[in-house]
Amino acid sequence: MFILSTDGRDDHQFQRYWNYLESVKSVFPRNALAVVSSDWYWLPSDHRCPHDAWLESVTVNENSSGERQEKRCVSLTVRLLGAYHDGYIELFYPRVHSYKFDVWNAERGHRDWRYDELRLSDRGNLLHEIEWCALNDTGRWLIEASDLEFRWLPKNPTKPSI
């Protein structure tokens, strides 16, 4: 881990993370790399940034094909209410290899999406680790997938004038 810790974050930790991403960019999943290397993803003043967003829903789909529907593939969608409450962030993982949702205090919801890291797993897949937090940590998620697709959906899209 680079920027996920209970000891706080500093420029050195982020620099190590950027160096890591630079070193694996040729094998990093394309869509996830575009998201994680963008300026807006890490800028809390940008409404698309997930920092301080709230969980709206998680949808797990087990898609099937084959004569007996025996070929199975798990996909996952996470929908967040953006920190400014003016739109939604959707994260879609098209092919999920594993996931683990640990939440140790959900009495008032998951609370804020604090920080996250995208890195490669030992198997060469995308690994997305997410910290949830209020005054204290409330949970940590770990999703191993083929890639990550990001969408920003404004809450009230501008309507064309007549």
Instruction: Give pLDDT tens digits for 48-67.
Output: 999 999 999 999 999 998 89
Where on the phi/psi map is residue 143: left (φ > 0), alpha (ψ -120 to 50), or beta?
A: beta
H or E stretch including 109? none
pLDDT confidence of 15, banded at 50, 70, 90?
confident
- CB 66 within 8 Å of CB 129: no
- CB 3 within 8 Å of CB 17: yes
Tokens 């890195």 belong to 119
CA distance 146 to 17: 20
Instruction: Give pLDDT tens digits for 77-130.
Output: 999 999 999 999 999 999 999 999 998 878 887 889 998 999 999 999 999 999
**pTM of the full predicted structure?**
0.89
